[in-house]
Structure 1
């Protein structure tokens, strides 16, 4: 099955930061006006002519990115919980410092574990996302997933994925 992995567009954390939201609540952030334009441009990509199903991470920034795509294309779509971003703290307490989060993210990218946090490993991310893709691989020839850079890095090896970057993988 051909899978197009699409990173969400540019998020605007100012509203959630001003509200004092921490941890998972920060994932309620919307796109910037520039992010909406970037998503609108990405929606013009001809790949969407072949996409049979659009899967979407449950974060606001991914759903808003998908909304921009779906304004132009009538593609069946489904929000899939397990397409979410990498979890730096599996306890969901999210009371870690920025330095602790940065160390955990570098561990995640490098496959090491120098962090004091119980973060989601690369293998755990792959297992989680593969469990979603496995449910679609015998039903469709081509799907797209609006997801996150941390997820996409595991499939592409690219650590610098641009907003609305589109990567094609072959998933068997």
Structure 2
């Protein structure tokens, strides 16, 4: 299976920040209006031609990005809960930004070194990879799939990425590379 992986457009957190919303509420933030023309132009590229379906994270920024791409291609759109972001706190509670950033750094350092960390308060790389692969298994019969999700979902499939992927950018790879 060929995958065209798209990182969601640039999120617009202005309203959620002004209203001091929780992280869950911030997940409803749309993409910036300035980002929309870039997503539209990306959707015109040959990389998206011939795709069978489009699969999206349930977060608004991903769904909106998928919808913009899909205006051109008119594919069946599936929303998959397990293509969501990395979970910074398994207890579901509130954590300060500094602690979240510390956990993210620890997570990324472990991913880069290839070491597994057990008994963490956050989702491990193995756990994230497992949930993402379980989603892909359901679509194995398709030849070409567009996935719109988050940087950490991409890393769960390809491993540590020294150079990230910008909002609205895409990478193409085959599913055989990681299964």
Q: What is the CA distance between 1:75 and its match in structure 2? A: 0.9
1:46-125 alignment to 2 at 5 Å? 46-93=46-93, 95-111=94-110, 118-125=121-128
SS of match in other structure, 1:64: helix
Structure-2 separation of matches of 1:73 and 1:142: 13
Structure-1 separation of matches of 2:52 and 2:9: 21
Which residue of 2 is the match for residue 20 of structure 1? Answer: 20
Q: What is the CA distance between 1:153 and its match in structure 2? A: 2.2
Does structure 2 conserve the Cα–Cα contact (< 8 Å) formed by 1:155 and 1:169? no
Name the CA shift for 1:117/1:123 in 2 (closer, same or farther; >3 Å). Answer: closer
Return the TM-score normalized by structure 1.
Answer: 0.91
Which residue of 1 is the match for residue 161 of structure 2? Answer: 158
Structure 2's unaligned 5+ residue stretches are none
Structure-2 separation of matches of 1:14 and 1:128: 31
Does structure 2 conserve the Cα–Cα contact (< 8 Å) formed by 1:88 and 1:117? no
Structure-2 separation of matches of 1:30 and 1:84: 15
Does structure 2 conserve the Cα–Cα contact (< 8 Å) formed by 1:2 and 1:168? yes
1:22-37 alignment to 2 at 5 Å? 22-37=22-37
Equivalent pairs, count: 169
Structure-2 separation of matches of 1:128 and 1:85: 11
SS of match in other structure, 1:127: helix
Which residue of 2 is the match for residue 140 of structure 1? Answer: 142
Structure-2 separation of matches of 1:24 and 1:151: 18
Q: What is the CA distance between 1:117 and its match in structure 2? A: 6.3
Does structure 2 conserve the Cα–Cα contact (< 8 Å) formed by 1:11 and 1:61? yes
Aligned Cα RMSD in Å?
1.8
SS of match in other structure, 2:78: strand
